Amino acid sequence: MSKPGVLIWGGKCQAHILHEMIIELELGVPRIIFDFSLNSPEFSSNATFVNEIVSLKSLIDGVDKFVIGIGSCHGFARNETGNTLEKKLGYLNVISRNSIIDTSVRFGMGLQVMPGTIVHKFVTLGKNVILNTSSTIDHNCTIGDGVHIMGSAAIAGNVTIGDFATIGTNATILPNLKIGTGAYIGAGAVVTRDVEPNSVYVGVPARKVKENVLEINRNILREFNSHL
């Protein structure tokens, strides 16, 4: 059986990581790299690079699956992009062999799991979630769509994290808390109480410092839809 051709949406760091993992894990063959913000990808690949939707349309019948190389705090854009692309293509989950995900864990499509990640029992993960290197999620947590849990962040048991939230590197979320939709938890923060939606929390203990604005370029997704 031939390996599926893969579209990688993005041409920067996260896309590079996914590109290499797809090859290493033998999940498919990167066929197209698309990034409307670049003239060329920031890494070498045998895949065809395009930066215009018209060009993508002419090639897309040659691919079966897609991954979204949109990392950092852009979970809303990652999730909306996934919702658009799945009208045409199938999701590809990219999960490191050097991660541990309990068999009781339920997860949505578009999952990206980096080495050293541990997800304990009875956790639910939404769509388009990124679990970065050495992050840990304890039992009975609910993680929403488009969430990014960055490297070495620790999520204690019975935590609920709303859609599109970002948990910064080495941050700690104490048990039984709720992190609101679109929240951003800064690197190294220790969260000891519930976090308001669309808020930035930093420090030990974490405190609110400003509002968080979710960003997306909807024009490119509208253009993609118009060419389906």
Does residue 206 share a domain with residue 101?
yes
Do 59 and 121 sit in the same domain of this protein?
no
Cα–Cα distance measured from residue 38 to residue 45, given in angstroms and rounded to the nearest whole number = 15
Structural domains counted in the chain: 2
CB neighbour list of residue 84: distance below 8 Å, 6 or more residues apart:
221, 224, 225
Range of the domain at 111: 95-211
CATH of the domain at 114: 2.160.10.10
> Does residue 17 lie within any of the structural domains?
yes
pTM confidence score: 0.96
Is there a domain that residue 223 lies in?
A: no
For residue 207, is it within any domain?
Answer: yes
Residues 60 and 115 in one domain: no
Q: 198-221, pLDDT tens digit by residue?
A: 999 999 999 999 999 998 988 999
Taking only the tens place, the pLDDT of each residue in 173-189 is: 999 999 999 999 999 99
80, part of any domain = no
Residue 125 lies in a domain: yes
- Taking only the tens place, the pLDDT of each residue in 106-139 is 999 999 999 999 999 999 999 999 999 999 999 9
Indicate whether 81 belongs to any domain: no
Nearest CA to 121 among 97, 106, 139, 142?
139
Is residue 64 located within the same domain as residue 104? no
